[in-house]
Amino acid sequence: TTYIRTHLLTPPIFSLQTYTVMLSSKSTVGARPAAKATPKTQRKLSVVAMAGPGQRSQSGGRWRGLDAGVDMSDDQQDIARGRDMVDSKFQGFQGQAGTHNAIMSSTDYQSQGQRSFDNMLDDFYISPSFLDKLTLHVAKNFLELPKIKVPLILGIWGGKGQGKTFQTSLAYKKLDIAPIVMSAGELESGNAGEPAKLVRQRYREASDVVKKGKMCSLFINDLDAGAGRMGGSTQYTVNNQMVNATLMNIADNPTNVQLPGNYQVEEIPRVPVVATGNDFSTLYAPLIRDGRMEKFYWNPTREDRIGVALGIFKEDNVTRQDIEMLVDQFPGQSIDFFGALRARVYDDVIRQWIDTTSIEGMGALLVNNRNPVQFPTVSMNSQTLMQYGSMLVQEQDNIKRVQLADSYLDGAVLAGSDGSSVPEQAPSLIGGGF
């Protein structure tokens, strides 16, 4: 009791000198040296303000990232990053209803139609006339020419298998363009109006790429197969009609392309459109008029065919003389014929590998094998190429000659007592079948 009264209840007694020393030591430990006083006449008011569109930030760098036209941050992703950084009472509901949940996921920002040609080699042949036409079309659409109406769409059409799509891909790679690609299968849907909406969406995706400072283009493969009318037996649907009408509207107003239900006037960058096909006469005539579509008939010359074939057989050390002989031997064949010919030459090597491996053990080596099967380069000469080329031509002739549909649709072609079910011996096919 005496100890408690003496030590705990009695307040400590400090001298004035001790208290002064404690205050001085507390103020000097960890403190910054005092800044030199600035005269009142030299003091200036520093104003930090966000710059408007087309202006430079007044601060000179600290807030420049927030200026209009400079800030490239993603609001949706910023919302997700801000979760749990404030008290829960300011975040609204939990789960998907919370204010710190991004409305869109990261996969929604990835275009489903953008293609990259970075894995394409640079030693493939590009036709000079083809590259010139595509380059001019892209340049004219990005230039502001006075009082000149430039067609928005370039229609590249020609025979089957002539390399229209591949040449376009090579030209895009040469121009360093990763286009937004659509195919003919996307131009039809079970829902009315869906393909037309998709065309607008893909066009705006390409426009967003241009807005970020990189060239882009909308590339539609086989437009006539998806939006054309192939004869009287082809059904012309509402979607076909709306796709043609949508492309006409985009060609007339390339900087004002709106999505259905959104009718605010918003100017977007112009995007050149490239479409390929076999016969554009099947399309709606007002779409292919000169003011909207520039037509380019792609018919490769002999030099083009030789150049493409040299690229196909480059790894096989086939001489230019053999390539020229091969092209002259099959003048009526398309360009993809030479690619199929090269693949056909490997048949003997693969057949020999199958015999060595056995058919039963082939599957384990072809699927999920960490060591892929490697084949040596097959020796190719003019004699081998001519032999396999003649075999491909023979298969083409068989399809032209043995037209079983003509016989089967006319009636029940059964063997009976005096007939035959062998195609070569059918009565309607004797003599060529034409």
Which helix (H) or strand (E) is 303 found in, with range? helix 302-312
CA distance linking residue 84 with residue 68, whole number of Å:
28
Is residue 114 predicted with pLDDT exceeding 70? no
Which residue in 313, 319, 320, 316 sits closest to 335, CA to CA?
313
What is the pLDDT, as a whole number, of residue 394? 92
Q: Is the pLDDT confidence value at 78 over 90?
A: no
Mean pLDDT of the chain, nearest integer: 77
- Could you identify the residue written with the tokens 């000149």? 148
Residue 25 has pLDDT above 60, yes or no: no
Compute the average pLDDT of residues 137-155: 93
| pLDDT given for residue 28 in this prediction | 45
Q: Are 276 and 163 in contact (CB under 8 A)?
A: no
For residues 297 and 159, the answer to whether their CB atoms sit within 8 Å is: no
Under the banding of pLDDT at 50, 70 and 90, the label for residue 200 is very high
In angstroms, the CA 321 to CA 318 distance is: 8
| pLDDT confidence of residue 29 | 46
Percent of the chain with pLDDT over 70: 65
Whole-model pTM?
Answer: 0.67
The answer to whether 219 touches 121, Cβ cutoff 8 Å, is no
CA–CA separation, 243 and 183 (whole Å)? 13
3-state secondary structure of 296: strand
Summarize the confidence of residues 153-169 as an average pLDDT: 93
Q: Measured between alpha carbons, how far is residue 197 from residues 182, 193, 200, 279 in Å? A: 13, 6, 5, 24
Which residues neighbour 173 within 8 Å (Cβ) at sequence distance 6 or greater?
Answer: 117, 118, 120, 122
Residue 84 is predicted with a pLDDT of 62
Q: If you average pLDDT over each of 62-71, 351-360, 407-416, which comes out highest?
A: 351-360
So what's the pLDDT on residue 100? Answer: 58
Helix, strand, coil in percent for the chain, rounding step 5: 45, 5, 50
> In this predicted structure, which of 25-39, 59-73, 256-270, 362-376 has the lowest mean pLDDT?
25-39
How many residues are there in the chain?
Answer: 434
As given in the structure block, the two tokens for residue 390 are: 């003649």
Q: Residue 214 region, left (φ>0) first, then alpha (ψ -120 to 50), else beta?
A: beta
In whole angstroms, what is the distance from residue 385 CA to residue 330 CA?
11
Distance CA 309, CA 330 (A): 12
Asked if pLDDT for residue 279 goes beyond 60, the answer is: yes
